[in-house]
Structures are given as C-alpha cells and as structure tokens.
Amino acid sequence: MMREVLLALVPGIAAATAFFGIGVLVNLTLAAAAAVGSEALMLRLRRRPVGLFLGDYSALVTAALLALALPPLIPWWVTALGAAFAIVFGKHLYGGLGYNPFNPAMVGYVVLLISFPKEMTLWQAPAGVADGPVPALAAMTRIFTGHFPAGMSVDAISMATPLDAVKTQLGMARTLPEIQAGPLFGALAGRGWQWINLLFLGGGLWLLGRRIIGWRIPVGLLGGLAVVAFVFWASDPDLHPGPLFYLLSGGTMLGAFFIATDPVSAATTPRGRLIYGLGIGVLIYVIRAWGGYPDGIAFAVLLMNMAAPLIDSYTAPRVFGG
C-alpha cells in the first residue's frame, strides 16, 4: 500500500520539480535519508527487527509528504530535523506504526513552521516569474551552505505563494482584481500551482481506483472547503477568492488525498470519515482566511486528529441485532 502511495505522488513531484527546480528533489532525498535513518535507530533502540519494519515504506511516505510541503531552497538541516522529529516524536514515541494519534509528517512540518518561520517562507519565484527556478548549482549551494553564490541574493529569487500574496495584500486594503493583476498570477505562474494540484488530484484518483484510500475523507475535505469558500465569495467577490482558487492553490490536493487519509490518525467509521474530512476543509478555510498562516492544512489535520476518537465514538455503526 505504501509503495502505491509513493507511485501516486510521482506526477505531482514531477510538476513541482518543473515549477520550482531541483530543490524539490534534494528535499525529498534529504528527508528520505533522515527518516529512514531515524526509523532504523528507533527500531534498534526498541529491539524490533530493523529489516522487517523498514520494508513497510511508511518512513518514506512520511518523508515524501513532509518534503513536498517545504520550500525548495530550505537549508538541508531543517529538512533533516523535520523528518527525524516526525519519525521519532510523531511516530515511535507513541509505539510506532499503527499507534500514532497524529499524522507524523504534519507533526514535523508544524514543528519546523513554528521554530523556523523565516526559512519556511523562502519560496523561490516559480517558472514564468522573473528568472524562474534557481539554477541547479545555485540551488545546491543554498541548500547545503545556507547561502547563495556571490551575486545572487535572497530577495532576487524569493516570492510569496499565491495564498500568502492574497492574504497579505487583502490586509493592505487591496482588492482581488488588483492583487491578481500581479506577475505571480500571470499565465504560466498561475497555471503552475494549478498543475501541481491537478496532478496530485490525478494521483489521488488513482489511489481511489486501486482502493488504497476511501472516497469519504477527500470528498468531505474538498466539499467543505469549496462550500465555505463559495458562500464568502458569493457575498463579496472583491474580498474573498472563489472555491477554485482555494482548491488549486497550496497543498490542497496533497492534503485531501495523501495527508488527511492517513489510516492511523484519521476517523475510522464511514460517517465519521465524512465528518472528519468536512472538519478539515472548514478549518483550512478559516486558517487561510483569518489565521496567522497562509495555508493551514497541517494545523487543520492535527486539530481533527485530536477530534477523531470523539467522532468515532458518536458515529459508530449499530451492532447487528442491537
């Protein structure tokens, strides 16, 4: 199952690499190495068979989900720290796979977001804006030394994400038409974020077709986000982006099909899964619109992880004959 999840991520990874450059692949490699190393260390400390448990690929899935949520030029040690924290504190200190109440990848991401806010906002200008993705050598220099080559500055390559740009500039009393006239929302740049989300959507639909995941959590999440976004957009389209913007920006599709559907930390009953997904979708909108962070998927997932046991207790199917 974990191998098929990794395969389903490949189209979205390819789009993110084309859009942001080689830093995406470097993040994936670093996170995978740190996650597998931490998994092996914890298994040995817990006296579990290392080869057997490493073969379930769960550490690689956690690493991939975390790495895809990170800016492509983040220093290597931040990526490694996040992956190690996710495995050690988000997974093994609760008893290992099957016992963790929170999604380990999102635990690692939130720790990095709170601890290193500056590094976590270093998104480079995407393809179609300014110079596009940073050249491979410059990207590697930045990731492994924390600095760019001489003559290249952070300001020259960094740019807000569409979610961040809308959130910040709406707070400056600008309207959506004014904001979306900027270069970040130009033809190629705007389609880039959409393509990434659409390819993660394609991978998620493939997982649905293979019955690796169920339909209730993704439908609840996307439906909850879209409905709330539509209500506010219909009330004032100059101040509230429409549903399509929220569905195809940030990590929405990655969150709906790959993160929220974690079989361990999500709700388990049929009705509970719909409620669980719906709660995540509503919380994503609330955090994006009024919270302190532009995306909000990680916080929404972790908050609903806390609520999952209560949801299951109130939505348990009636016992046959009861």
pLDDT per residue over 113-160, tens digit each?
A: 999 988 888 777 666 555 566 777 777 777 777 776 765 655 555 666
For position 131, what pLDDT does the model report?
57
Q: Structure tokens of 191?
A: 């389609």
- The residue-averaged pLDDT of 178-191 equals 64
**Are 135 and 220 in a shared domain?**
no
**Are 12 and 128 in a shared domain?**
yes
**Are 242 and 293 in a shared domain?**
yes
Task: Provide the number of structural domains found in the chain.
Answer: 2
- The residue-averaged pLDDT of 95-104 equals 92
Q: Which stretch of 47-56, 241-250, 251-260 has the lowest confidence by average pLDDT? A: 47-56
**Are 177 and 154 in a shared domain?**
no
In this predicted structure, the answer to whether residue 311 has a pLDDT above a threshold of 90 is: yes
Percent above pLDDT 70 for the chain: 89
Domain hosting residue 58, numbered range: 1-159
For position 303, what pLDDT does the model report?
97
**Are 312 and 166 in a shared domain?**
yes
- The residue-averaged pLDDT of 161-180 equals 81
Mean of the per-residue pLDDT values of the chain: 88
Please write the tens of the pLDDT for every residue from 19-40.
888 889 999 999 999 999 999 9
* Residue 266, burial from CB neighbour count under 10 angstroms (0-12, 13-18, 19+): buried
**Are 178 and 190 in a shared domain?**
yes
Closest CA relative to residue 2, chosen from 27, 34, 24, 35: 35
Q: Is there a domain that residue 244 lies in?
A: yes
For position 306, what pLDDT does the model report?
96
Q: Is there a domain that residue 322 lies in?
A: no
**Are 75 and 141 in a shared domain?**
yes
**Are 125 and 194 in a shared domain?**
no
**Are 75 and 169 in a shared domain?**
no
Region of 7 (left: φ > 0; alpha: ψ -120 to 50; beta: rest) is alpha
**Are 265 and 175 in a shared domain?**
yes
For position 130, what pLDDT does the model report?
55
For position 136, what pLDDT does the model report?
73
In this predicted structure, the answer to whether residue 52 has a pLDDT above a threshold of 80 is: no
Domain stops at, among 135, 159, 183: 159
